[in-house]
Amino acid sequence: MTHRIRYGGDYNPEQWPEEVWDEDHRLFTRAGIDTLTVGVFSWSLTQPAEDTYDFTVLDRVLDRAAAEHRSVCLATGTAALPPWLAQRYPEVNRTDFEGRRHRYGQRHNFCPSSPAYRRLATAMAARLAERYAGHPALLAWHINNEYGGACYCDRCAEAFRDWLRDRYGTLDALNDAWCTTFWSHRYTDWGQIEPPSALTEHWRGPDHTAFQGTTLDYFRFTTDALLGCFLAEKEAIRHHDSETPVTTNLMGMFRPLDYHRWAPHLDFASWDSYPPLDAPPTWAALGHDLMRGLKDGAPFWLMEQTPSTTACRDVNPLRRPGELRLATFQAIAHGADATLYFQMRASRGACEKYHGAVIGHAGRDDTRVFREVAELGRQLEQLGAATLGARTPARTALLFDWDSWWALEISDGPSRSVRYQEVVHAYYRAAREAGADVDVVPQTADLTPYDVVLAPVLHLVKGDFADRLEAVARRGGTVLTTFLSGRVDEHDRAFLADVPGPLAPLMGVRVDEWDARPPEFAQPVPELSAEARLVFELVLPRGAEPIATYGTDFYAGTPAVTRHAFGEGEGWYVATALDRRGVEQVVRRVLARHDLIGPYADQEGLETATRVAPDGTRLLFLLNHATEAAELTAHTTATDLLTGKQVKGGDPLTLDPLGVAVLRLQ
């Protein structure tokens, strides 16, 4: 048990001479670093040949960490192949979407169906676990690194067919699910089924497929195939170490893998946050909440973030003074119990030599970045255990559904311009900026804790989900969904019913037609003084009342937003992509019905997040994302855990530009 938030990052001392390690540890102590992620790319070092294992360097890295009272998150290192492996077993190299078998190079590129990869990766995990299971520095296992991507080789084709046999049992069931009578695709032999690629069902890249059902299943198969690699390594570890928690670093909103299928197999969730340039703060926050949602709200680790810049983008801006601290407290506010960096010391060569690091090439401790990292280490020490194990008491749920994401973005019609993440983020942002705490949950989640369920672009509806949404409204809750929801079943077959399919009774609407226009075209929505874009569904109210309407065209005056009284609650339907102002008004009306607008909702740039510690203490994080000071009036009596200062309700409360307060409420 630790007494504070874990602090540290990826550490690859095998890349530099051992004399430098002394300096590394001296600087780590200065910066309050207690946790090192080790061995992520060390396979060619720990196994220089198939029958030779060599752990002398790793032994020294771990022993040294233990001697310095630091913990190690030990990676199995199976994400980057050693050259001998690819040379001896060319099958380990992936075959890409265009059908090209790759040769040795890069990383994150092994075929998940390769028996040689599986055998050797698992053997490595087993050796490491056997050797280090009881090591005093060992804190957690980190399997592989950022799993992702797909392979289209013949072995994967075979594995896909096996996966399909398991899922469908018979070819009749598969033909029915994939609608294969369309374009004469009726399969009469499992061997006829091909992975959907540029050589088979696709044109114009991975999002254009003749058979959405096939492509959807390939996404699911790839998710399971890579998960199979993870599970094989985890099992090997468990054989020697039954206790130490096991994770792998995920990537937040990462389309290729359905992390909800991974969630039950992770002992805790961890992820790498590299928000896109110019993303609003809610983009990273949504990633945090999605990752927290994987384990039912249990704390996660921020496994990687850059202390200063990335290197892989065309342009790599620097984190401004104060931004790192703010991003770190944002992660903690959303549930991180560990905040780690990529990377502790910069590599000398290769493609990440310009990636930000706690310690740069010159090894100095008087740089601005080092000073900020060290100051943050001091503040985390001061915060101590206050936030550890805390939970988010959210009464608002946002649905996040990989199946819907995939189905929407591989769909032909009505619009290629609708992007799943953007619509989901728009609703998330509106709720968060109104001060609501939000849990981001899958369709299988228990919805009973929530008063509000936001389910934007819920394109694909599975199982009894529509019934469970109805139950939320029946007991008085509010459910919101939008255009392009309730369209298809789990196989991407249209519901043979009025749109929005199984959601129609709750929404009290019927949609027969929809119009799609280029992104430049804006349709006014006068009641909200807002604009709508991309897709305009024509709504026929069937019990619902219009809240806002379209301003022009032959459907001028017909509803763009409706509300339907259902049981004790309501169903809201938003039939088009409203702009930020429009989404904000709709979401605030929904939240207001349940008194979920936060006390600082109108403070521009201010983010709030609530956490409840295991002893019941309520913490309110105030995060000022603005570059001006925020002048607030405290809404209650509280103590700021970072300064020790007390405020009473009604007192002025100032946050510096990019400033943070962690209020312990009384």
Known catalytic residues are 146, 304
The item of ligand GLA, Zn ion, none sharing an interface with residue 156, based on CB under 5 to 8 Å by kind, is Zn ion
**Tokens in use for 468?**
């469970």
Q: What's the gap between Cα 67 and its chain centre?
A: 35
- Closest contact distance (angstroms) between CB of 58 and ligand GLA is 18
Partner in contact with 214, chosen from Zn ion, ligand GLA, none, beta carbon below 5 to 8 Å by kind: none
From the list Zn ion, ligand GLA, none, partner contacted by residue 342 (C-beta under 5 to 8 A by kind)? ligand GLA
What residues does 269 pair with on adjacent strands? none
Residue 145 binding: pick among ligand GLA, Zn ion, none (C-beta 5-8 Å cut-off by kind): ligand GLA
- Closer by beta carbon to ligand GLA, 77 or else 508: 77
Q: Which of 12, 9, 1 lies closest to 377, judged by CA? A: 9
Q: Closer CB to Zn ion, residue 149 or residue 605? A: 149
What is the contact mask toward ligand GLA in residues 598 to 617, using x (rule: CB under 6 A)?
--------------------
The span from the CA of 468 to the CA of 477, in Å, is: 11
Residue 310 binds which entry of ligand GLA, Zn ion, none, with Cβ cut-offs from 5 to 8 Å by kind? Answer: ligand GLA
The binding track of 271-310 with respect to ligand GLA, each residue x by CB under 6 A or -, is -x-x-----------------------------x-----x
**Closest distance of CB 287 from ligand GLA, Å:** 13
Plot region of 350 (φ>0 → left; ψ -120 to 50 → alpha; else → beta): left
Residue 342 near ligand GLA by CB under 6 A = yes
Q: How far is the CB of 315 from ligand GLA (least distance, A)?
A: 14
Residue 576 partner contact from Zn ion, ligand GLA, none using kind-dependent CB cut-offs of 5 to 8 Å: none
Q: Which is nearer to ligand GLA, 50 or 352 (CB)?
A: 352
CA–CA dist 654, 632 (Å, integer): 6
- The answer to whether 456 and 432 are in contact (CB under 8 A) is no
Please report how close the Cβ of residue 161 comes to Zn ion at its closest, in angstroms. 13
Looking at the DSSP assignment, which residues form a beta bridge with residue 610? Answer: 620
Q: Which listed option, ligand GLA, Zn ion, none, makes contact with residue 151 (CB within 5 to 8 Å by class)?
A: Zn ion
Q: Is 98 exposed, middle or buried (0-12, 13-18, 19+ CB in 10 A)?
A: exposed
Nearest to ligand GLA of 303, 399 (CB atom): 303
> For ligand GLA, which is the closer residue by CB, 173 or 351?
351
Residue 113, contacted partner among Zn ion, ligand GLA, none, CB below 5-8 A by kind: Zn ion
Residue nearest to ligand GLA (CB): 272
Which residue is associated with the tokens 């939240």? 591
Residue 111 binds what, of Zn ion, ligand GLA, none (CB under 5 to 8 Å, by partner type)?
Answer: Zn ion
If the CB atoms of residues 144 and 209 are measured against ligand GLA, the closer one turns out to be 144
- What is the smallest separation between the CB atom of 155 and Zn ion, expressed in angstroms? 5
The residue (of 168 and 342) whose beta carbon lies closer to ligand GLA is: 342
Strand partners, 509: 541
Do 148 and 256 meet the contact criterion of CB atoms below 8 Å apart? yes
- H-helix or E-strand containing 351? none
* Residues near 30 by beta carbon (within 8 Å), at least 6 away in sequence: 365, 374
Q: CA-based angle 608:479:509, to the nearest 5? A: 145
Report, in Å, the least distance between residue 225 CB and Zn ion.
Answer: 8
d(CA 8, CA 72): 10
Residue 272 beta carbon to ligand GLA: minimum distance, rounded to whole angstroms: 4
Of the pair 14, 352, the CB lying nearest ligand GLA is at 352
Sites for ligand GLA among residues 125-154 (CB under 6 A):
145-146
What residues numbered 30-89 form the site for ligand GLA, per CB under 6 A? none
Tokens representing residue 465 in the block = 């989900």
Does residue 77 sit in helix, strand or coil?
Answer: coil
Q: Do 402 and 216 contact (CB within 8 A), yes or no?
A: no
Number of residues that bind ligand GLA (CB under 6 A): 9
Measured at the CA of 270, the angle between CA 264 and CA 272, to 5 degrees, comes to: 135
Query: Distance (Å, rounded) from C-alpha 8 to C-alpha 5?
Result: 10
For 620, the 3-state DSSP assignment is strand
* Range 578-599 burial, b when 16+ CB lie within 10 A, else e: bbeebbbbbbbbbbebbebbbe
3-state SS class at 596: coil
Report in angstroms how near the CB of residue 97 gets to Zn ion at its nearest.
12
Rounded to 10°, the helix 212-240/171-178 angle is 120
Q: Which CA distances in Å does 127 have to 52, 123, 359?
A: 12, 6, 31
Q: Which of 355, 429, 491, 611 binds ligand GLA (CB under 6 A)?
A: 355
Residues that bind Zn ion (CB under 5 A): 111, 113, 151, 153, 155-156
CA atoms of 298 and 76, how far apart (whole Å) = 24
Q: How far is the CB of 229 from Zn ion (least distance, A)?
A: 11
Query: 311 or 522, CB closer to ligand GLA?
Result: 311
Site residues, ligand GLA (CB under 6 A) = 145-146, 272, 274, 304, 310, 342, 352, 355
